């Protein structure tokens, strides 16, 4: 993959099997320590793994006094040398340098990431540099692993990956929390006092950034059977919490000939696959989270993988909450939406693990969810997990033409705008179901990171779209 056969990643250089090889590594200095015996230790990281490679730079190097002894955190270097077994604890190998070439200096006075630890709040101001820290390197590798597991899980289970539009005219969740997309000159219109007319807009009608690819995914599920869409979604909800972003990534599988119980089994197997892969593939990063961010996280996730998820209806959950002696901020009432504090009580205190809540009142769920025989609830399912609350939301979809039409009228949807969606019920309708997993909440769950702003490279939240 490179014209230079000697160049290896630090991940590879750290492996015992590399001992004896002459290699080149390229990376950024984390620390330098000079020994009285006339040589220096340079800790190098290139992002390929959590751990650093210890470079032993002998005083005989041409540029030892001129350059090596001036290396500081952040400098970029190319080192050629021989990998030896390391006598030091916690590392199998070290690199005995034959040459150290400096590519870029890094001014220690002005570089913000000095050895001192910074708060995550402070690091958000340096979102362009925070990827260089231990925590954000580890988060990034785990996030990548989760994305890989998502594709692998669905591909192995015969799902097709489809791409649904980002610009859309439909409000899937019906919550009206959409960002508008327009090419109209709104400033000019305001100045001239003329009204905004969306017929003159780019698409000749109002359009928005999508809140979910579900409705479009349904069109492909009712043709190809099993599909998933995975992309960015946007919500203009004014929630300044540690679990909400205005731009987040969601993976949404949609399956034909599927009912609620099938959907729950799929969600459980899917989530367990993600956890298993992270525990197995990201062991160094997970050990870091265990030691520095969320003590107990490895054992907790291991236990989750081994045990079946609990199931509970919304109605049963309300009874549990009413029977608890907690003083909640929001009142508990059948028919009211569960708040984060309720969800966390159920999963953290009552169940002590993941719980799938089902059969929510139809009045608090979107129009597309299948109405149950009782006429009051819908075939909805939310997966709640400790520390995060809702991680997955899904349902069986309403496949009956007449019931869907009625629900759409109740929701006051524009029937013309959704005619294509109704067609799926007019032509060969089938029971089908699906769900959405918020990628960032999954990363939070696996890593134990408290704030969702710290598990996405560049968070978008109310009042903040820097970088």
- Binding interface with ligand 4AD (CB under 6 A): 172-173, 212, 214, 235, 244-245, 248, 250, 252, 390-395, 434-436, 438, 440-441
By CB under 5 A, is residue 393 in contact with Mg ion? yes
Q: Which residue has the tokens 């690819």?
A: 213
> Quick one: 100 or 383, whose CB is closer to ligand 4AD?
383
> Quick one: 145 or 214, whose CB is closer to ligand 4AD?
214
* Burial grade of 189 (CB within 10 A; 0-12, 13-18, 19 or more): middle
> Quick one: 173 or 277, whose CB is closer to ligand 4AD?
173
Q: How far apart are CA 112 and CA 156, in angstroms?
A: 44
- Least distance (Å) between residue 437 CB and Mg ion: 11
Q: How many residues bind Mg ion (CB under 5 A)?
A: 1
Tokens representing residue 435 in the block: 């769900």
Stretch of 27-35, 232-240, 385-393, 447-455 lying at the interface with Mg ion (CB under 5 A): 385-393
The DSSP output letter for 20 is T
The one of Mg ion, ligand 4AD, none whose footprint includes residue 244, by CB under 5 to 8 A per kind, is ligand 4AD
- Least distance (Å) between residue 339 CB and Mg ion: 12
Query: For the CA atoms of the chain, what is the radius of gyration?
Result: 27
CA distances in angstroms from 110 to 33, 69, 73, 102, 367, listed in the order given: 20, 19, 11, 19, 55
Give the residue at shortest CB distance from ligand 4AD: 393
> Quick one: 354 or 393, whose CB is closer to Mg ion?
393
Q: How far apart are CA 17 and CA 284, in angstroms?
A: 18
Q: How far apart are CA 91 and CA 53, in angstroms?
A: 8
The one of Mg ion, ligand 4AD, none whose footprint includes residue 425, by CB under 5 to 8 A per kind, is none
> Quick one: 215 or 332, whose CB is closer to ligand 4AD?
215
Helix axes 401-410, 419-426, angle to 10 degrees: 160
Tokens representing residue 253 in the block: 């599988």
The one of Mg ion, ligand 4AD, none whose footprint includes residue 459, by CB under 5 to 8 A per kind, is none
- Least distance (Å) between residue 392 CB and Mg ion: 8
Phi-psi region of 56 (alpha: psi -120 to 50; beta: other; left: phi over 0): beta
The one of Mg ion, ligand 4AD, none whose footprint includes residue 81, by CB under 5 to 8 A per kind, is none
Helix axes 260-281, 134-156, angle to 10 degrees: 140
The one of ligand 4AD, Mg ion, none whose footprint includes residue 252, by CB under 5 to 8 A per kind, is ligand 4AD
Q: How far apart are CA 247 and CA 234, in angstroms?
A: 5
> Quick one: 27 or 434, whose CB is closer to ligand 4AD?
434
Q: How far apart are CA 284 and CA 417, in angstroms?
A: 50
- Least distance (Å) between residue 43 CB and ligand 4AD: 36
The one of Mg ion, ligand 4AD, none whose footprint includes residue 297, by CB under 5 to 8 A per kind, is none
> Quick one: 10 or 255, whose CB is closer to ligand 4AD?
255
Interaction site with Mg ion (CB under 5 A): 393
């Amino acid at each position: 993959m490179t014209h230079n056969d000697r160049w290896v990643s630090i991940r590879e250089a750290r492996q015992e099997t590399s001992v004896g090889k002459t290699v080149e590594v390229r990376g950024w200095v984390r620390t330098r320590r000079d020994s009285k015996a006339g040589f220096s230790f340079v800790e190098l990281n290139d992002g390929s793994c959590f751990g650093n490679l210890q470079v032993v730079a002998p005083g005989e190097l041409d540029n030892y006094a001129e350059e090596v002894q001036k290396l500081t955190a952040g400098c970029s270097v190319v080192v050629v040398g021989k990998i030896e077994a390391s006598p030091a604890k916690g590392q199998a190998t070290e690199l005995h340098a034959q040459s150290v070439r400096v590519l870029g200096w890094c001014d220690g006075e002005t570089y913000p990431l000095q050895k001192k630890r910074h708060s995550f709040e402070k690091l958000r101001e340096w979102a362009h540099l925070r990827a260089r820290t231990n925590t954000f390197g580890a988060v990034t590798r785990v996030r990548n692993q989760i994305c890989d597991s998502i594709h692998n899980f669905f591909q192995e289970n015969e799902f097709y990956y489809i791409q649904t539009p980002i610009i859309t005219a439909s409000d899937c969740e019906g919550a009206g929390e959409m960002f508008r997309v327009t090419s109209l000159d709104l400033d000019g219109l305001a100045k001239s006092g003329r009204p905004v007319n969306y017929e003159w807009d780019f698409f000749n009608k109002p359009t928005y950034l999508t809140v979910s690819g579900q409705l479009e995914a349904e069109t492909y599920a009712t043709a190809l059977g099993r599909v998933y869409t995975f992309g960015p979604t946007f919500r203009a909800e004014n929630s300044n919490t540690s679990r909400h972003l205005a731009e987040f990534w969601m993976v949404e599988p949609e399956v034909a000939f599927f009912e609620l119980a099938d959907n729950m089994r799929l969600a459980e197997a899917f989530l367990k696959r993600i956890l298993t892969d992270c525990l197995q593939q990201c062991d160094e990063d997970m050990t870091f989270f265990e030691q520095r961010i969320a003590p107990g996280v490895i054992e907790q996730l291991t236990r989750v993988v081994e045990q079946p998820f609990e199931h509970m209806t919304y109605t049963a959950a309300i009874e549990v909450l009413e029977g608890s002696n907690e003083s909640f901020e929001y009142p508990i009432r059948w028919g009211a939406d569960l708040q984060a504090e309720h969800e966390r009580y159920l999963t953290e205190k009552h169940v002590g693990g993941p719980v799938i809540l089902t059969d929510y009142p139809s009045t608090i769920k979107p129009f597309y969810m299948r109405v149950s025989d009782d006429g009051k609830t819908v075939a909805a399912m939310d997966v709640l997990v400790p520390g995060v609350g809702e991680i997955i939301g899904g349902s069986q979809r309403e496949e009956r033409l007449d019931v869907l039409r009625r629900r759409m009228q109740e929701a006051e949807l524009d029937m013309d705008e959704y005619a294509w969606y109704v067609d799926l019920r007019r032509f060969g309708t089938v029971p089908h179901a699906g769900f959405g997993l918020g990628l960032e909440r999954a990363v939070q769950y696996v890593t134990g990171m408290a704030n969702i702003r710290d598990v996405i490279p560049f968070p978008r939240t109310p009042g903040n779209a820097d970088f």
